[in-house]
Structure 1
């Protein structure tokens, strides 16, 4: 890329009002984004005039379509919203498994399908970021299945969108210190550090971001 895709950009960050999503919003603004749509199922007011707090349910086609009609200036989309659940593929309620896959996989796909025309129209160095997981390559029930499918979808979408000058980045990371995993007594990534790596990837036009040693080792063990 010959231009910085962050400076003067307008970004959409799903699940952008807490945890890793909020850290990504903050980092984008620090690097020069002029507007960020920070979505939530139950949005809260935001003091920063550069941040637009907006309602979104990525599992709802009409909700995603409405956001795409609102954020018509978007040049960056970060698919960060996610859902845990469905720990056992045999015993967890099927509705729970379907909800996890609908949010984590189809939610990102809905966002991509609706926003690809927006990004293409706005031109320049446009980017879609899919937040996946080290569990894309390790067994972990419905959540792992959803992230493995998102990894595959990300690779396919990258090829489909390359002719339209839209870069697609897959982000893979281990446990990160957010409310989603607050009850787990395990080493955790700092969300701010992961956000910096993600925005570095947007700036450089990377295909993937492997955010920590655990993820890099897991990836190497699968593809050795």
Structure 2
């Protein structure tokens, strides 16, 4: 089940990477590469932290979702103005799945719950952050106008609780991933944010939020 969920998560993240490549005017090779970085990056970092050989390079099947994602984006890309909202939707779906699978894999390797949650969050946000850095846009993780890591933290925490209670199964996992997905999209839709690093009383002239590559609200 874990492998299947990982492959689905890789595909969702890879689609968001390929859509970003389409928005930035990349060619097909760039689309497949950016989709691969986004879909596989978080899992590679996770496996390295677990002191394991990355599953990506042990099982070639992991390269299939990014290639399929690049082909799907090439064949079915809608109007350019809709690409940003699609990136957000597929990114949220990948975030929900990867924060869960990263936490599960850490727990399987006898990590304590706190470390498992942290590794789940790293798995969830790592690929998207690499995608944004390569595409030269502000990573969602550092965007003060929405919350990106918090839905992943909540999803990973729920996974750890369900694991320790012995109730983690396919149905519960789907509910956790769906909750993370809904929280992520709701944060964008309603403009939820967390306080800035410095309190407003310390800032005489608060800096405006960094410009990002496209609208973030009202994408539905």
> Is the helix fraction higher in 1 or 2?
2
TM-score w.r.t. the length of structure 2 is: 0.31
Q: TM-score, normalised by structure 1?
A: 0.31
Q: Which has the higher contact order (CA 8 A, sep 6+)?
A: 2
Rg comparison, structure with higher value? 2
